[in-house]
Chain A
Amino acid sequence: MNILLQDPFAVLKEHPEKLTHTIENPLRTECLQFSPCGDYLALGCASGALLIYDMDTLRPICVPGNMLGAHVRTITSISWSPDGRFLLTSSRDWSIKLWDLSAPSKPLKEICFDSPIWGCQWLDARKWLCVATVFEESDAYVIDFSNDPVASLLRNPDKRTLSSTSDHGYVLVCTVHTKHPSVIIAGTSKGWLDFYKFHSLSQSECIYSLKITSSNIKHVVISQDGGRLAINSSDRTIRQYEIRIDDKSFTVELNLEHKYQDVINKLQWNCILFSNNTAEYLVASTHGSSAHELYIWETTSGTLVRVLEGAEEELIDINWDFYSMSIVSNGFESGNVYVWSVVVPPKWSALAPDFEEVEENVDYLEKEDEFDEVDETEQQQGIEQEEEIAIDLRTREQYDVRGNNLLVERFTIPTDYTRIIKMQSSSI
């Protein structure tokens, strides 16, 4: 049903509530990522297989690398280009592969390191740049895929002076700032948060550094509007910061807003994620076989607003599609994917605005002017006037009811039956 005709209070829910689907995946999902508009869901599996599911039918529609060059070890991260056509995957088999979904049978490009990859993310898909973090490396890598892939370390030219005072440990996670795409935030194994300004492959500078904790930083997430930052570290705490970066001088300002902890069980957090735009909500999965839920907090007040139940195992990775308002997460034991979404009850009376649904019988009260006789010519004039208003049928709306941009480019994965048809039709 048309979303605008629905009950606005049902539609505008800002987080999903109910487990609606379970996608069974015998290959064991290890990480998952929605395409930018939520049309597809990419699953990285323990065997190294990459599956792309269509979210309308909940069926796999594409297996990149089915002809050649699939990963042979667990996929550790997936990153979609903003137009949804190019996909980056990193794996424990030491390689990062770039896939073009218009020709998914083999990787477009790949680069091999000499140790497992923690993760990779697009830095600038138009310039074919991405950042990657590699096992036991004290710096992140920036990879240029425009020609033959080249990797170079993301580090200060004078890093020596910086690190002489303190050892930052190995870089574990990297995130690109959403509003300043040249700013990369790296989290290290000794609890340091390093902000880099990327200029070119050979040149980048560390603009800010802060020791947040003394344990591993596991996740760094940043809100869509770039105003909030959350850090998940292995000291069982999620720290939420307000972040401000000056447009010109690139000075960084961080203010701690909230700390989220499991006070009772003292559980670690597996994965964290912000909701869209200004990040009103934060969702996290918990570590340990006893916890099977996702927790959603309201970020301004820091209160727990919802616990997503229904999965019967520990949940690992989380992803959130803001267009259809659904959250997916993969189970640790079965490797299945759980989908929570907003269930909107169909409200057909919305199609006829005069109609009203009533719960029980109501005595009808005639309104004062309801059956008044109206002068016909006047009425006719009114109708004509209404008809004269030109209705714009062509301009597309820019935002949906939840404030998601609708005008972004969407790539549709082609179906591979064209060749069969071509062969059949040419013989006729």
Chain B
Amino acid sequence: MSLPQWCPPHSNVKINSTTGEDVYCICKKPDYGELMVGCDGCDDWFHFACLHIPGQFKDLVFSFFCPYCQAGITGKNKDAIINGEMSLPKTLWKRKCRISDCYRPCLPDSKYCSEEHGKEFVNDIWTRLKTDEDRATVKQMVQQTEHIDKFKKFGQLDFINNDIVLKNDEEKKTFDQIVVQDPTLMALENDLQEIQEKTLPSFKKKLKLIEVYLGWLDNVYSEILKLDNDIETNGEGDKADTKGTKKRKKKNSDRGRPRRNICGYSPTYESLPCSVEEFVLEMGNNGETTTIRGVCTKLKCNRHLDWVSTNQEQYLQQIDSLESMQERLHHLIQARKKQLNIQYFEQLSRKGV
């Protein structure tokens, strides 16, 4: 901040060299008893008149800084300010009483300097209410609110009100016209309904179906492993055709947790192909083919690698984004309703006039 235009450049003079008197302020004149204020930065004194501050403000000073301190020329923390560690000081004022020609500071937690002025202000508003009807409304509002805190919060309350009381047909008609039949609101509510009733449940259902299918697949796995172990222990049966596959499976089962042995991808996993036993039997019979009833039975399948988690993640992500969309729609509907309700009340009051 730079010095204001009317302020002369700073000088260090404290004593008039000819008269030997102490001098103050930007005018460098001795103290003749005019109204002065002390700077909190440099401890010098300043005339209200020289700084163009009206005299009535004398009670409102909270902490005062002279133009030189405000410009960073003088002051206690000058070095810190130059280094950028502190910002320039500023004069702070107390809040003035709401009565326009009262220049006293407010009481704590109040907008008035005294209780009398508070009453005066409210009385003034009351006398400015022209019609009896207005007065009656205010009276009613005061009487109907149980608690002063609730009364204070009037105006901050939302206008979202799903149970607006419609007294007569005309009011209902206006309400329908403005709120119920609003195309934007209708579109938003439609969107929300579609997500809630159709899209979201369908994805949740898909996610559940894939889990059901995975459960079925797990049964198939354990069945296959059991079968292989049986073959191993018995040392007989159709060892010849499944020899290669068996060895690999053996390795897997040795690791403790049975790893996926067949790929198991099926494009139609929404419905289970057949019972576990049937499937394993069919698999044993058709050692050569890679798909049985649409299920991929390759042991090492690059093609469908990772298909379970890809699908699951896809559904989870869809559900996630739908849920956040739902939330957003809720907010939008609320906002829209609020606007419309305000419009409705405005319409009503206009009609009342």
Contact between B302 and A67, CB atoms less than 8 A apart: no
Contact between B321 and A68, CB atoms less than 8 A apart: yes
Contact between B336 and A423, CB atoms less than 8 A apart: yes
Q: A114-B303, A136-B303 are in contact. Are A427 and B342 (CB under 8 A)?
A: yes
Give chain B interface residues in 305-353, CB to chain A under 8 Å: 307, 310, 313-314, 317-318, 321-322, 325, 332, 335-336, 339-340, 342-343
Distance to closest chain B CB from A24 (angstroms): 24
Checking A67, A73, A135 against B303 with a beta-carbon cut-off of 8 angstroms, the contacting residue is A135
Contact between A70 and B336, CB atoms less than 8 A apart: no
What is the bound-complex CA distance between A135 and B306, given in angstroms?
14
Q: Is B304 an interface residue (CB 8 A)?
A: yes
* Range for the number of chain B residues in contact with chain A: 20 to 34
Give chain A interface residues in 366-386, CB to chain B under 8 Å: none
Contact between B265 and A114, CB atoms less than 8 A apart: yes
Give chain A interface residues in 47-94, CB to chain B under 8 Å: 66-70, 72-73, 92-94
Q: A114-B304, A423-B339 are in contact. Are A72 and B321 (CB under 8 A)?
A: no
Contact between B314 and A67, CB atoms less than 8 A apart: no
Q: Is A426 an interface residue (CB 8 A)?
A: yes
Secondary structure of the A side of the interface? loop
Contact between A426 and B321, CB atoms less than 8 A apart: no
Q: Is B184 an interface residue (CB 8 A)?
A: yes
Checking B302, B310, B318, B340 against A94 with a beta-carbon cut-off of 8 angstroms, the contacting residue is B310
Q: Is A303 an interface residue (CB 8 A)?
A: no
> In the assembled complex, which residues on chain B have CB atoms less than 8 Å from the CB atom of A136?
302-303
Secondary structure of the B side of the interface? helix
> In the assembled complex, which residues on chain A have CB atoms less than 8 Å from the CB atom of B314?
72, 93
Q: Is A422 an interface residue (CB 8 A)?
A: yes
What is the bound-complex CA distance between A427 and B335, given in angstroms?
10
Of B184, B304, B317, B332, chain A has the most CB atoms within 10 Å of the CB of B317
Contact between B325 and A114, CB atoms less than 8 A apart: no
> In the assembled complex, which residues on chain B have CB atoms less than 8 Å from the CB atom of A404?
none
Interface size on A, residues (CB 8 A): 18
> In the assembled complex, which residues on chain A have CB atoms less than 8 Å from the CB atom of B313?
72
What is the bound-complex CA distance between A422 and B199, given in angstroms?
27
Q: Is A115 an interface residue (CB 8 A)?
A: yes
> In the assembled complex, which residues on chain A have CB atoms less than 8 Å from the CB atom of B335?
423
> In the assembled complex, which residues on chain B have CB atoms less than 8 Å from the CB atom of A70?
317, 321
Chain A residue with Cβ nearest B296:
A114
Q: Is B267 an interface residue (CB 8 A)?
A: yes
Chain B residue with Cβ nearest A68:
B321
Contact between A114 and B322, CB atoms less than 8 A apart: no
What is the bound-complex CA distance between A422 and B340, given in angstroms?
13
> In the assembled complex, which residues on chain A have CB atoms less than 8 Å from the CB atom of B332?
423
Give chain A interface residues in 76-126, CB to chain B under 8 Å: 92-94, 114-115
Distance to closest chain A CB from B74 (angstroms): 45
Contact between A73 and B184, CB atoms less than 8 A apart: no
Distance to closest chain B CB from A211 (angstroms): 25
Q: A115-B304, A427-B339, A427-B343 are in contact. Are A73 and B321 (CB under 8 A)?
A: no
> In the assembled complex, which residues on chain A have CB atoms less than 8 Å from the CB atom of B307?
94
Give chain B interface residues in 128-150, CB to chain A under 8 Å: none
Enumerate 26 A-B pairs (CB-CB under 8 Å) in ascending A order: A67-B321, A67-B325, A68-B199, A68-B325, A70-B317, A72-B313, A73-B310, A92-B310, A93-B310, A94-B307, A94-B310, A114-B265, A114-B267, A114-B303, A114-B304, A115-B303, A115-B304, A135-B303, A136-B302, A136-B303, A423-B184, A423-B332, A423-B335, A423-B336, A427-B342, A427-B343
* Chain B residues close to A by CB (< 8 Å): 184, 199, 265, 267, 302-304, 307, 310, 313-314, 317-318, 321-322, 325, 332, 335-336, 339-340, 342-343
Knowing that A115-B303, A423-B184 touch, tell me 9 more A-B residue pairs with CB under 8 angstroms: A67-B325, A70-B317, A72-B313, A114-B267, A114-B304, A115-B304, A426-B184, A426-B339, A427-B343
- For the complex of A and B, the 7 pairs showing the least CB-CB separation, nearest first, are A427-B339, A115-B303, A72-B314, A72-B313, A136-B303, A93-B310, A67-B325
